[in-house]
Amino acid sequence: MKRALSLLTAFAFSLGATLAKAEGELFIYNWTEYTPPDLVDKFEAETGIKVSVDTYDSNETLLAKLQAGATGYDLVVPSQNFVPIMINEGLIQKVAVYDLPNYANYEDKWKKPEWDSEHEYSAPWQWGTTSFSFHSEEYSGSGESLAEFFEPSEELRGRLSVFPTPDEVISLANIYLGIEFCSEDPKEMKRIQDMLVAQKDYVVAYNNETMSDLITSGEALMTNHWNGYSRLGRLAGAPVQYAYPKEGVVGWFDSLVVPTSAKNVENARKFMNFMMDPVNMAILTESQGYGDAIKGTAQYYSEELKTAPEVNPPSDLNVVFAPTCSPAAQSLIDKVWTKVLQ
């Protein structure tokens, strides 16, 4: 009997493998630790499609990879201000997201966004904010102002961690200094540059992967952070508190898009549709702790998520979404960041 069961199991496994092969594959290129394994397992079980995930650490890395001609990816996950760049450079393709069955679940307030007004290219992943977190037991400040991050006190000398790419750091600086996003004024950008160069004396690391670990070890007392990633650090035991400064925070919206070179477009569309199901999106939100744009997900949230401070910001918080910058403005941003990292 045991042998018969083994044969039956082997047959089922073989059939499953055959189905998976028949349904094909899906290659996802996503941010580090941003694709929950249980979500992938669920998609594979429901569709028979084999999913492979590769990761990157910034929008800049993703864009450079696609510009360099990288092939083999069926889905990538850029933030909102990088989507128009990819469209204009022909790096992603139209896939009629608006025509997918679960598009009806898309929250109205997120429909027709500036970066993809007809949803021809992009399906929702997560949205959130960029600010900073601090050591809740050792840091003497309260996180009430961006001044604590950009013009740090002596207790932060050698104990401040900053993101290694300009996109969100300079956007936060824009908010703090009251400078318009994507400024083409060299004098205004010089103000940002001078502030970031002065801040550098306090920086222990330019890092966006182990922020909570730096807080836990005491190597850093303050670090750039994303709200959901800060929550995950806190849940893991890190003494970390996410700051909601009075000046405001940077907002971002990450989307699923399909590279022009994708070989499994229909499988990519299936995954997009899968992610617009409230049950599946709730799995992602529970795992990551960011916001989502799908109706009906809240009923599946845990009580912890419903009350987490990182997911429930103050009602009067100023959240500013960065637009796509002109080539002239982006050139100034790049020059500022090059100077900062010298």
Query: Measured between alpha carbons, how far is residue 261 from residues 90, 206, 265 in Å?
Result: 10, 32, 9
Cα(39)–Cα(43) distance, integer angstroms: 6
Of the listed ranges 3-12, 94-103, 129-138, 232-241, the least confidently predicted one is 3-12
Provide the 10 A C-beta neighbour count for residue 316. Answer: 7
* CATH 3.40.190.10 boundaries in the chain: 25-127+252-307, 128-250+314-341
CATH topology of domain 25-127+252-307: D-Maltodextrin-Binding Protein; domain 2 (3.40.190)
Nearest 5°: phi and psi at 236? -85, 0
Condensed to tens digits (0 to 9), the pLDDT of residues 189-242 reads 999 999 999 999 999 999 999 999 999 999 999 999 999 999 999 999 999 999
Condensed to tens digits (0 to 9), the pLDDT of residues 296-337 reads 999 999 999 999 999 999 999 999 999 999 999 999 999 999
Q: Does the structure show a pLDDT above 80 at 256?
A: yes
Condensed to tens digits (0 to 9), the pLDDT of residues 266-292 reads 999 999 999 999 999 999 999 999 999
**pLDDT band at residue 108, thresholds of 50, 70 and 90?**
very high
Where is 278: in which H helix or E strand?
A: helix 278-288
CA nearest 263: which of 93, 46, 12?
93
Three-state DSSP at 161 gives: strand
Condensed to tens digits (0 to 9), the pLDDT of residues 3-45 reads 233 333 333 333 343 333 437 999 999 999 999 999 999 999 9
CA dihedral angle for residue 213, residue 214, residue 215, residue 216, rounded to 10 degrees: 50
Domain 128-250+314-341 has CATH 3.40.190.10: yes
**Please, what is the Cα angle at 219 between 337 and 228, to 5 degrees?**
70
